[in-house]
Structure formats: structure tokens, C-alpha cells
Structure 1
Amino acid sequence: MKISRKKIKKAVVRKIGSIDFKIIGIPNFHWSDFYHWLMKISWLQLWVIIISFYVLINTLFTFLYLGSNGGIANAKPGSFIDAFSFSVQTMATIGYGAMYPTNVYTHILVAIEVFIGLIGVAMITGLMFARFSLPTARVLFSKVAVICPYNGVPTLIFRIANQRHNWIVEAQIRVTVLLSQEVTSEGHSMRRFCDLKLVRSETPMLTLTWSVMHQIDENSPLYGWSEDDFQNVNNQGIQFFVTLTGLDETVSQTIHTRHVYRLNDIIWDHYFVDVMSTGIDGQNYFNYSHFHDVVPLSTRQDHHT
């Protein structure tokens, strides 16, 4: 089915891992999702919206006050600055007393603006609290994953670390691979998600590091793959989606985070540098400066020999 230029221009871009998809038939924005949209945008964008709305409302009431024909006491006739200042004082319910309404028209405007100001303060306060109290995770994922033997079986390994000085309780991790398109016997073309079985998919507490491992055995969708398959251009759409959930012990709320590995992020016949060592004082130390470092498998073999 061919797609018209008009529909292409209205397409919504959605990113899945490192691949951009253009969605047609679903609007980019819906007013019922306005709160969700405000929670999703950046802090800079939010502040721009709040300040713009504040200036716009006060400017609108300023022009309305200027049409009141002397409805503001002690304000210079036709003064935009005085009318704008009166609008700011009214919306914030400051009430300095130097300027005040003198006729029914201005009193009505003041009542309307005070009501809008109260609603605005309540909404902005609630939005700020919701954004500040939103539980987040600071989990570090290794920049690469490796494939090396583990108990004689080729194993996909990457590691994660809790960057906060607390516990993530009942942490659970899931790894799903998005395979390339396949054609069914009926001629349907589709992409498949396959869950990877992990050596350990949960831990009672995540405090330091965790090496996540998937053994590439007969039950693995990666079974039979070679290093050349990982470097094949036709397979570069394949991605590994990692999701982590757990309970933050500090705020007692569920947190989650995610990460994506592409095929070119996976290094064969390498292993991770050990980040744990013992100092001269006999204490155990974790050196996270080597968290992403890997070395060839031959290095370990030479070490053992």
C-alpha cells in the first residue's frame, strides 16, 4: 500500500531502541493527554510554558484594565506598566493597596483574574510536586556486552550497578531480543520478540553491581550464531531490550529503567575487568572507573597458564 505525501508529513516519529518508526493514523497530541505531556517534557520546556502563560494572561488583563477608563486608582491614565503591575498584584493576591479598583467593570475583572490565579497556582503546585516526587532509578549499564564462556557454555554478559547509596529491593531484570523480520508459511512478514532466559533474573537487593548472564544453549534464540552473524549488515536491526524494576528502599516506591544493546555493542571473546579489589588496608573496594572496560579472553587464558 502506497502512502501519500500528505500522510507522510503528518506521520508521528517514535523511537524503538535505535530505530525510528513513523506512525500514521495516530495523532501526535491529544488534549486528554495534556497532563501526561506536561509530565513528559523537559524542565526547560515546562518553565518556558509556565512563564509564557503567566506573561500572556497578565498582558491580556492589562489591555482589559486599560479599557476601564480610570478604573484603577493611583494609576497613570493609559499607562501599560501601571496596568500590568496591577494585574500581577491581582493575580498573586499581593494587595499592596496603592492601586485598587474603582468601578464595577474593574471589580469584575479583578474577581475573574483572582480566580484564574488561584486555579493556576494550584495546578502548577500540583504539577511541580508530581514531577519532583516521581520515582526514578539511577542505574548504570555497561556500555558494551560480551560473549565469553561460562561453565563451558558461550554466554552473553553485561553488568549493571546502582549509582545511589541505597538498596533496590526485589530487583528483577528482563532481557528481550527483537529479531529481524521473518515470513510465516502464510506469507505474513513480522518481527519477533523473544525473551532470553537468564542465569539469574532477580536479586533480593541491588546495592553494588550485578552481572547479567544469558547462556547461549539449544534453547536460546541466539544458538548457532557466530561472530560474523553479529556483524552482518542484514542483522543490524536486531536489538536487545533490557528492563529493570525494583523497590527503592528510601521512598518505598517502585522504580524502573531500561537500556538497549545493539549487535555492534556486543564484543566476542572478551570478558569484563573486575571492579572489585582489596586494598592494602584489607578493605574491599569497587573501582567503577573500570566498569565498562573489557579485555580479550586470551588475556585470562594467558594469566591462568
Structure 2
Amino acid sequence: MTTPSDKATSSASPPIPRPAVKNSRTFNVHTKGLHSSLLNDFYYRVMLANWPQFFIGAILVYLCINAGFALVYFYGGDMILNARPNSFIDAYIFSFQTSTTIGYGYLLPKNGVTHAIVMVDVFSGLLFVAVLTGLVFARLAKPRASVLFSKQVLVTQHCGQTTLLVRLANGRKRSTIVNCRVSAVLMMEDRNPESVFERRFIDLKLERDNIPIFSLTWTLAHTIDEQSPLYGLDKAAIESYGTILILTLDGIEDIFAQTVHTNYIYEAQHFLFNKRFASILSQHKDGNRMIDYTRFHDVEESD
């Protein structure tokens, strides 16, 4: 990997494309030539959507299904008893009542062809409800880790050594993550002497990468010594390499007894030097320990 001074002398090389981080969880990168099928990725997209998107999508799909059968009834001629002539609204209401098996008794199938279409309409309605129920259950049954990550990465003196620090906290008061393990990977980008763009992933050795029970807070520490990829790098050098720190956490959530995992991504601008995390521990008036999460992301000047 070239040094920052070497990079300054090779201005003829095109700039290195830096990946943008989206919501501190993933990379926001444009792709070209990669095609995905909606049907093949349907379950993945449904599970990835948030709840408003999920329900809005379900409502739109249901309305479109009813509209499709309503068009069949509407253009099929005189198919619905007691329906107004050339009324798409009546055809749509009949389709809605059929798919939901309501049947108020006013709009009725008029002939055998209509009865055949009604059977398909009812089946599609029952199938939609079954699929929707399964998707809702799958989303509710999926355990999610609620972990707070500090907004900044600190490079400061800790126990007499230059150390990289990141603070974590369990975001659920009555939940515990058992056998919790964290891995830290540093991503650094540069051009080699042949001006070929390279991206390197380097494991960061943590002073402790696992704890048996994660229920309160946890400060991750990486000693920056001669073996560390961050050794000798200042703020400018870290930014010049487009340094990104990727943290992944996994463990067993005690309520669901299932494995949960989450991740967090720090960009170069999130690295702060000569700072320390503000203390969030104090003693409550009843004598128990209290954690002040309102100061979780606060930093102070290091002594």
C-alpha cells in the first residue's frame, strides 16, 4: 500500500472511488449489469421492507387483484345480478365481497360463467390471506438485535497505550444476548504501484472479542502497536486511505433462544483523536447502579 506522500506525487492517477455508507449499516453503491428478479427476490424484499412499506404494498396488491377480477366482470357483460348497467364500481364491490367471502346477498352471480370466475376469485382471496398471514408471522417471529453503537470511534490513550475504542450497549432493558461475539475489520483502499485500485480487509485484534452475557454496556478496545494496521496513521492518513471500520456482532437472544446479529460501519470522518467517552455510570438514590443513555454518544477531551 502506498503512503499518503506517494499518493501526492501520482496525481495523474484517476481518483479512487469511495463507497458511501447508508444508515451506518450497508454500502450505498450503484451497480451496473446486475439484474435481480422481483419474483426470485420476493421474500427477501418483503422481509427487508419496513412495516409501512409492507402494509402499503399488501394493500396495493389486494386492490389490484380485486380490480383485475372487476374488469373481468365488467367486460364480461351481464354477469352480476342487481348490478347497475356498465357500472365498474358495482363490479369492483362484487369482486371485493367475493374475495373476502362476505356476500351480503344483493349482488349475486347471474350465470354459470360467473360462478366459475367467482370460484377463482374466492380461491385467490383465500390464498392472498394465507400468504399475508405467513409473511406477517415471519416478520414478527424474526428476532432482531437492538444494540447501540457509539457514533464515533476514538483513538486515544488507554491504560498507557494508544488504543482504538468503540462503545456498545444493549438496547433492550430486559433482554440479554448470550455468548455475544464481535469482530472488527478494517477496510482500506488505495492504488498499488501499478495504479491498480485495491481494497484490503484487515482483521483488527480486540483486547476482548466475546463476553458470556451482554446486557449492559461494552467498550471494545484495539491496541495500536507495531502490529496494528493503524500504527503511525494520523487523522489525515486515515481519511486518505478511505478507511472504514466494520463491526459485526452476533449472539443468542435469550427471549427467542435464536441467533441474532447486527453490524455497524464507521467511515473515516467518524474517527476522533485524543478524546474519551463521557462516563454514563452513576449510583441511583436506591443504591443500585444507573446507566445514563442520554450521554452514551458524548465524548470529552482526553487528559
Q: TM-score range by the shorter chain?
A: 0.7 to 0.9
CA drift of 1:20 comes to 4.2
Q: Which residue in 1 is equivalent to 2:291?
A: 286
2:69 aligned counterpart, secondary structure: helix
Do 1:14 and 1:23's aligned partners in 2 also have CA atoms closer than 8 Å?
no
Q: Which residue in 2 is equivalent to 1:244?
A: 249
CA drift of 1:134 comes to 1.7
Mapped to 2, the partners of 1:54 and 1:281 lie a distance apart of 55
In the superposition, the TM-score normalised over structure 2's length comes to 0.85
Q: What letter matches 2:274 in structure 1?
A: D
Do 1:14 and 1:22's aligned partners in 2 also have CA atoms closer than 8 Å?
no
Q: What letter matches 2:162 in structure 1?
A: P
CA gap of 1:14–1:48, structure 2 versus 1, over 3 A, is: farther
CA drift of 1:19 comes to 5.9
CA gap of 1:83–1:24, structure 2 versus 1, over 3 A, is: closer
Do 1:182 and 1:190's aligned partners in 2 also have CA atoms closer than 8 Å?
yes
1:199 aligned counterpart, secondary structure: coil
Report the number of matched residues: 282
Q: Which residue in 1 is equivalent to 2:192?
A: 183
Answering whether residue 267 of structure 2 is matched by residue 262 of structure 1, we say: yes
Q: Which residue in 2 is equivalent to 1:218?
A: 226
Mapped to 2, the partners of 1:169 and 1:280 lie a distance apart of 30
**Paired residue for 2:276, among 243, 257, 271?**
271
1:53 aligned counterpart, secondary structure: helix
For residues 23-52 of structure 1, the C-alpha deviation after alignment (integer angstroms, 9 at most, x for no partner) is 222114453112212222233333232222
Q: What letter matches 2:256 in structure 1?
A: V
Mapped to 2, the partners of 1:209 and 1:38 lie a distance apart of 33
CA drift of 1:75 comes to 2.4
Mapped to 1, the partners of 2:38 and 2:190 lie a distance apart of 32
CA gap of 1:63–1:261, structure 2 versus 1, over 3 A, is: closer
CA drift of 1:228 comes to 4.2
CA drift of 1:283 comes to 2.3
CA gap of 1:123–1:153, structure 2 versus 1, over 3 A, is: same
Q: Which residue in 2 is equivalent to 1:113?
A: 121
CA drift of 1:113 comes to 0.8
Mapped to 2, the partners of 1:154 and 1:187 lie a distance apart of 33
Mapped to 1, the partners of 2:27 and 2:79 lie a distance apart of 60
Which stretch of structure 1 is more off in the superposition, 122-131 or 27-36?
27-36
For residues 242-276 of structure 1, the C-alpha deviation after alignment (integer angstroms, 9 at most, x for no partner) is 11111110111111111111222121112111111
Mapped to 1, the partners of 2:67 and 2:285 lie a distance apart of 68
CA drift of 1:179 comes to 0.9
CA gap of 1:228–1:181, structure 2 versus 1, over 3 A, is: closer
Answering whether residue 140 of structure 2 is matched by residue 135 of structure 1, we say: no
Mapped to 2, the partners of 1:286 and 1:52 lie a distance apart of 45
Q: What letter matches 1:297 in structure 2?
A: S
Do 2:235 and 2:271's aligned partners in 1 also have CA atoms closer than 8 Å?
no
In the superposition, the TM-score normalised over structure 1's length comes to 0.85
**Paired residue for 1:167, among 169, 176, 189?**
176
Q: Which residue in 2 is equivalent to 1:25?
A: 33
Do 1:138 and 1:163's aligned partners in 2 also have CA atoms closer than 8 Å?
yes
Q: What letter matches 1:49 in structure 2?
A: G
Mapped to 2, the partners of 1:106 and 1:240 lie a distance apart of 63
1:192 aligned counterpart, secondary structure: strand
Q: Which residue in 2 is equivalent to 1:77?
A: 85
Answering whether residue 92 of structure 2 is matched by residue 87 of structure 1, we say: no
Q: 1:30-109 residue pairs with structure 2 within 5 A?
A: 30-109=38-117
Q: What letter matches 2:149 in structure 1?
A: F
Query: Which ranges of structure 2 fall in alignment gaps of 5 or more residues?
Result: 1-18
1:23 aligned counterpart, secondary structure: coil
Q: Of the two structures, which has the highest relative contact order with CA contacts closer than 8 Å and spacing of 6 or more?
A: 2
